[in-house]
Amino acid sequence: MHKDDPIRVSRRFTGPDGIGNGGYVAGLVSEAVGGPTKCRLHAPTPLETDLHLEVEDGIARLLKDGRVLVEAEPLGKPLDLDPIPAKPTEEEIEVASGRFPGADEHMAPNCFVCGIDRDPEDALCIFAGESTHRDVSVADWVPNEDLAGSDGHVRTRYVYAALDCPTYFALGRTHRTALLAGFAVRIERPIAPGEKLTVTAWPLEHEGRKYHAGSVIHDEAGHAIALARALWIDVGSVGDRPRG
């Protein structure tokens, strides 16, 4: 794909403030690279706007008017996530779901991944609440049929999206607005629509306004089938920013 081919991110895939969901956009760009990738999100991706995807020397870049918004390249190294938390139990998820932020506390209630105002037929609706007995946020996820690509598997962009938002909630800072700035992902095997999956996220470290977290998708047998490491940048309290 070349710079001349315009693409648009639909409003369906909004994140905070009416911009593109960071995980979704990172996955969209990573599909042009293939395999495990590391992504840098330099600026928010506008919705319903002509953008251009450029691939050169194995690096994919999403641009608007020549400005790089997102770039992805092969991962090239381990994610450094060990130890990976075990798959959550159904009881743990049920209790955690009751601890998920309500509409007045949610940074992005219309988010494609975690928005509580979204229709499950049109969004992922992954509500990763805080566990009561370990330092993780957990949720279940059964991908809808419309998330599959031509090969019958859930498209990379949706797997990235599912791994994204839970890492924000794992930070335990839902009173603060944060934006995804870096995302490294490894998908271990293809995912089929209808699979019964769980998503677990946990905090790693932070320095100043930079917060790191990991996430993992487990299948029904307890195998880790996708993993991610996220970098979030704190940009202010939730009340300081209008919601799109």
What type of residue is 221?
A
| Across 89-105, average pLDDT | 91
Instruction: Indicate where the chain has its CATH 3.10.129.10 domain(s).
Output: 6-74, 90-240
Give the integer Cα–Cα distance in Å for 96 and 129. Answer: 4
Nearby residues of 132 by Cβ (< 8 Å), 6 or more positions away: 92, 95, 96, 99
- Tokens at 43, concatenated: 């600026």
Q: How far apart are the first and last CA of the chain?
A: 31
Category of 220 on φ-ψ map: left (φ > 0), alpha (ψ -120 to 50) or beta: alpha
Torsion angle of the four alpha carbons 191, 143, 114, 67, in this order, in degrees rounded to the nearest 10: 60
- Tokens at 225, concatenated: 């089938």
Burial per residue of 219-232, b for 16 or more beta-carbon CB atoms within 10 angstroms, e otherwise: beeeebbbbbbbbb
pLDDT surpasses 50 at 118: yes
pLDDT surpasses 70 at 1: no
Domain spanning 6-74 has what CATH number?
3.10.129.10
Q: What does residue 182 show for φ and ψ, rounded to 5 degrees?
A: -150, 145
Nearest alpha-carbon partner for 200 in 162, 144, 172: 162
- The CATH class, in words, for 90-240 is alpha beta
Average pLDDT, whole number, for the chain?
93
Give the integer Cα–Cα distance in Å for 51 and 46. Answer: 9
Q: Mind listing the pLDDT tens digit for each residue in 140-193?
A: 999 999 999 999 999 999 999 999 999 999 998 888 889 999 999 999 999 999
What is the pLDDT at residue 2? 47
| Across 105-123, average pLDDT | 93
